Amino acid sequence: MESGLEGQIAVVTGAASGIGAAIAAELAAQGARVAGLDLAEATGCALAIACDIADETALAAAFERIESELGRPTLAVHSAGITRDALLVKQTLDAWNAVLRVNLTGGFLLVRAMAPRLKAAGAGSIVLIGSINGTRGKVGQGAYAASKAGLVGLAKTAARELGRFNARVNVVAPGMVDTPMTRALAPEWRAKAADESVLGRIAAPEDVSRVVAFLLSPAARHVTGQLLNVDGGQLI
């Protein structure tokens, strides 16, 4: 059974590891040609570009290369993200700005780069990777939570602006996911996240990537401006 992603050109930020790598692999498995953007090498992509996705000039150059080597992209996923955890009273401005720059400004620049291409194509889909912490907040994650909450407002605005061109924008908000970033956490924090989940476990990256692929596909053609939690019930 075809997924509807065959032959589509997809841009995935943060494609070198974790959720981003799983998304890139899932889209490629479903027939998309994936351009992976990351500071590290994104293996397994049709095109891997070393890129600071929050650098306007670097991102513009990356898109020029994508169009030259693969064609015009109509699918995009913003999965790049960092965290600099600290209590708000101890959060430095430099750390705050670093998180907002990658997580939120990077998402904005990706959406802005995609917008004229989706308009020209008369179709397309963007998914921004948020977090349940953008909804509930999290002690020590003020910058991260704010950046992920900002992506929701960005997506809803973009959905309104791009809907007339048959383009869709949604947010997928995972709970705790088993990635290199979360494996560095203390075991008790991982155990707490599993206990919070009504399914009693934390997610594998593939649990997120399959939902992202669905939202990018024609199967979700009437879904836009939505926030979809993929957290095993952790938020509730």
pLDDT over 60 at 217, yes or no: yes
Asked if residue 47 lies in contact with residue 66, where contact means CB atoms within 8 angstroms, the answer is yes
The CATH number covering residue 86 comes to 3.40.50.720
Distance CA 99, CA 81 (A): 8
112 in a structural domain = yes
Flag whether 202 is in a domain: yes
Residue 184 pLDDT level (bands cut at 50, 70, 90): confident
In a domain, 4, yes or no: no
Q: State the residue range of the domain holding 100.
A: 9-230
Is the pLDDT score of 72 beyond 70? Answer: yes
Instruction: Examine residue 119 and state whether it is found in any structural domain, yes or no.
Output: yes
Residue 171 confidence (pLDDT) above 80:
yes
What is the chain written as a DSSP string? ---S-TT-EEEEETTTSHHHHHHHHHHHHTT-EEEEEESS--TTSSEEEE--TT-HHHHHHHHHHHHHHT----EEEE-------B-GGG--HHHHHHHHIIIIIHHHHHHHHHHHHHHHHT-EEEEEE--THHHH--TTBHHHHHHHHHHHHHHHHHHHHHGGGTEEEEEEEE-SB-SHHHHTS-HHHHHHHHHHSTTSSPBPHHHHHHHHHHHHSGGGTT--S-EEEESTT---
- How does strand 167-174 pair with strand 75-78? unpaired
Q: Is 165 a catalytic residue?
A: no
Write down the pLDDT at residue 182: 83
Flag the least confident range among 76-80, 157-161, 179-183.
179-183
236 found inside a domain = no
- In the chain, the number of structural domains is 1
CA distances from 185 to 79, 122, 181, 182 (A): 20, 43, 7, 5
Does residue 235 sit within a domain? no
Region 60-88: mean pLDDT is 97
Instruction: Specify if 206 maps to a domain.
Output: yes
**Tell me, what amino acid is at 65?**
R
Categorize the per-residue pLDDT at 1 as very low, low, confident or very high, splitting at 50, 70 and 90. low
d(CA 97, CA 108): 15
The answer to whether residue 3 is domain-embedded is no
Question: Percentage of the chain surpassing pLDDT 70?
Answer: 100
| From 30, 144, 203, 212, active-site residue | 144
Report how far residue 68's alpha carbon sits from residue 98's, in angstroms, rounded to the nearest whole number: 31
